[in-house]
Each structure stands twice: as structure tokens, then as C-alpha cells.
Structure 1
């Protein structure tokens, strides 16, 4: 099992966390005495993963990754393109996460791998709204609303087999429509769109159907800990992460 950490810089407006902290990239922000990227690397190593690569285009992030004993890979035009580069370099099975997953724990990674159905080519960890709110009352997340609950992504993905490469182009589509789930349902056909409109479509069924359409077995894996969905997208998230890690 190898791992890829996505730490690319997107064009456009400066990242609000990096800007507020006066650094070139938010993965360099100090939390509990070490850079955010170091927390992610430590969690992956705690999960038993020794070969870790960081996809980054910021010089300071690349230098830090090398200091942490990681390989450094080029970034693509977006997260999915960077994953394609990582899969080519590292092979499958490949665990993918992000550099702003400051609260990541090794036990979450182990649970995710253990809970993923054995036949899966691709799996993704998502947390139910009630689990997130129980773990962190008042947290504001973006939720996908389906018949089997309201879900938020946990920035943990498993490309379990070489066949997972077929899912990368679809990943681009999901990136674009992640806040408009009805559009994802529409791509699956009129029956799926109608099921979503009537509140009958489950997210697990939608993911499985999407996988079948592109020739992979795709699985939704529910997170055991709602904190797994809490990443650092904005300064308020950073304050929360610092408070949680300070009390750990």
C-alpha cells in the first residue's frame, strides 16, 4: 500500500488559510508545533504506509515533503490529473488524501481499508451528517443529500486495483458537480434523476451505478468517526483544528 498526498496550488485567488497565516501554501501552516503536512504524513506512517508521495508545485512544500522522507511528484491541472500522475508513479493499491487533512489519524486509515469491500476497484470514505455533528457540534460542511442520509467527503480515497485508472476521468466530473448532486444523478440516466428528485436515490447506489457505467466496482465506505470529514478550508477550520490537536 502506497499513499499520495495532494498538495497542489490552484490558480486564482490566494488560499484564505495560507493568506491569513502568511505562508505560500496552507500545508506549511503550523498546528501544534509542526506543519500541517507533517501531521498528515505522521498519520499515514502510523497506519503502516511507508512509501508516501506528495503532489506539489510550491517550492517550500516540495522541500518540506523531502525533509519528511516523502517522494515529490508533479501536479496536474487539477486534483484528478494529479491522481493520474500518482497512480502511474506509485501503482495500485494507492491511498489518496489531501495535505489539509490536519486531523487525520492512522486508525481512520486502517478502518477505511478494513471496511472497504474486497471486490472494490475504487472506494471513498464519507461521513454522515449526524456523525459529524456529534463529533464537532456547529461544524459547517457541504453535504450531499440522498435517501440514505446527508453525506460529506472525508478526503480519503482508495484506488485498490489498476482498473481504478478508469475512474479518474469521472473524478473530474464529480469534482465539477460535487455541490450539485442532481447533476451527478442526471448523468446516470432519467431513472436515477427521477429517483433523486423523489428522494429515493441512495448515495451508495449512485456510486455503485456510476462505477458500473465506467467499468469499475465503486464503493461508499461510511466513516466511523465524524471528525474524518473535517479538513482545513478556511481560517475558522484552522482554529478548530488547532483547538482539537491542542487538547489531544
Structure 2
């Protein structure tokens, strides 16, 4: 399966605490087992069949590194939603979007996600159930969305399947603007669905589908088959976990 992929590798304009902790200029440049996180993500996307891989970057250092490993470069806009919107305008759809800190990304997670996404969805989002994460990565700490059908965590994989998907980025921009005022985000569900959410009668799929209708598109969730797909590097503890998991994989790899 051939597809185009955008890797969000920009910054919000301030020093990233994980980059500072690792002693590098940008989080995407953190090395794990001899490969930067950006290179690891690009390797997985290439192995999954990506025809084009484009990095959305803020710094010259990341841009130079991306080009050195054969990745196209776009300058990031202020905020990930605008970066995606501008990439959709320039590259078109379908477009797979992920992040440079998704250092554990595996080719099969990408191909499974694309295969499992509903054919009629303008936008699909990969999320993992808590029990899937706990079975795959015991003891990890994730942020969960709590719904009637369980607790879910995002996996930093999005599929913008049709030209109508650009509408999702406009809703995303509004959510980013309101990220410090969560009540404004929640109220987009409307009073009926909000009540169902509060009493744990609303499923995540129903909530995402409703938000999609608000944006004028068909939006769907895809349940991750691997719990480790929910592990990214947001803080130093995540980096330590990812380093350990990759070291464990290397130790289990067969010797040629």
C-alpha cells in the first residue's frame, strides 16, 4: 500500500523539556540506539510503503537532518493543526500524519491502521484501549479519555483520507486555541451528549462521529491492535521507557 506521510517535527517556540533533558536542540534529534527519533519514524513509514515522507520542521538543524536521511522538508506553521492544514493544501489527500516523537512506531501499526480505517471516513484516528496498553506495556503512564466503552489513549496516527478532511483541521485549531479552557472543548458535544459523557453512557466512537458531523465530515476511530502504539515521548520518563523497550527488542533480535 502506497501513501504519503507527514511527520510533525516542529516545536511550539520554547525549549522542549525532553530535548533539554537529552542535551539536544530539538526533540526529533534525540538518538535512541544510534538512530534519531525522526529517523526511526521515517524508517517505519518507509517500510510500511510510504511513497513520500515530509517532515514539518521549525529548526534548521532538524531540516538539515531530515534532508540527510532522504526526507522532504516543510516549514512548520504555528501549531500542529495549521501545519497539517497547510500540508493538506500543498500535498493533498490521502495523507497519513504522525509525530517525530513516535519512536516505537512499527510498519505493521501503520498498515493495520490504514487497513482497519472505515472506507467512508474522511478522517480516521488511531487510539488504544487501556487494557491493550496494559497488556503490551505494563506499568506505563498514559493520559486516558474515559468513555462508556472504556478508557482510550491516543496513538499519534491520523489518516486524512479525502479533500473534505481539511475541515477537521479547522476544528482542531479551535480545540488548540481552547486547550487551557477545557469546558469550551467539552461543550462542543452539546448538552445531550455531554450528559451522556458525564454519566459514562457515551462511547468514544459516538463522540468522535458527532464532532465530525459538527465539522461537516465523517470521522471515525480505529482501535489499535498493539498497546505500545500509544507510547510517545512527551517527558523524560517516556524517553527512559522507550529506550528500555527498544533495547529489549534489540536483545531479542536474532543474530545473523
Aligned to 1:200: 201
Aligned match of 1:226: 227
Deviation at 1:179, TM superposition (A): 9.1
Task: Check the 8 A contact 1:185/1:192 in 2, yes or no.
Answer: no
Unaligned ranges ≥5, structure 2: 250-256
After alignment, is 167-176 or 37-46 more displaced?
167-176
Query: Which residue matches 2:156?
Result: 155
Cα-Cα RMSD? 1.6
Question: Number of residues paired by the alignment?
Answer: 247
Q: Cα deviation per residue 1:204-226 (whole Å; 9 max; x = unaligned)? A: 00100111122110000000000
SS in 1 for 2:120: coil
Return closer, same or farther for 1:127/1:29 CA change in 2, 3 Å cut-off. Answer: same
- Output the TM-score relative to the length of structure 1: 0.95
Alignment map for 1:201-216 (pairs within 5 Å): 201-216=202-217
Distance 1:138 1:35 in 2: 25
Partner of 1:5: 7
Name the counterpart of 1:54. 55
Structure 1 runs not aligned, ≥5 long:
none
Q: TM-score, normalised by structure 2?
A: 0.92
Does residue 109 of the first structure (1) align with residue 110 of the second (2)?
yes
Deviation at 1:64, TM superposition (A): 0.8
Deviation, 1:173, is: 3.2
Equivalent pair of 1:185/1:206 in contact (CA under 8 Å): no
Q: CA deviation at 1:188?
A: 2.2
Change (3 A) 1:120 1:176: same
CA pair 145-217 structure 1, distance change in 2 beyond 3 A: same
1:68 paired residue number:
69
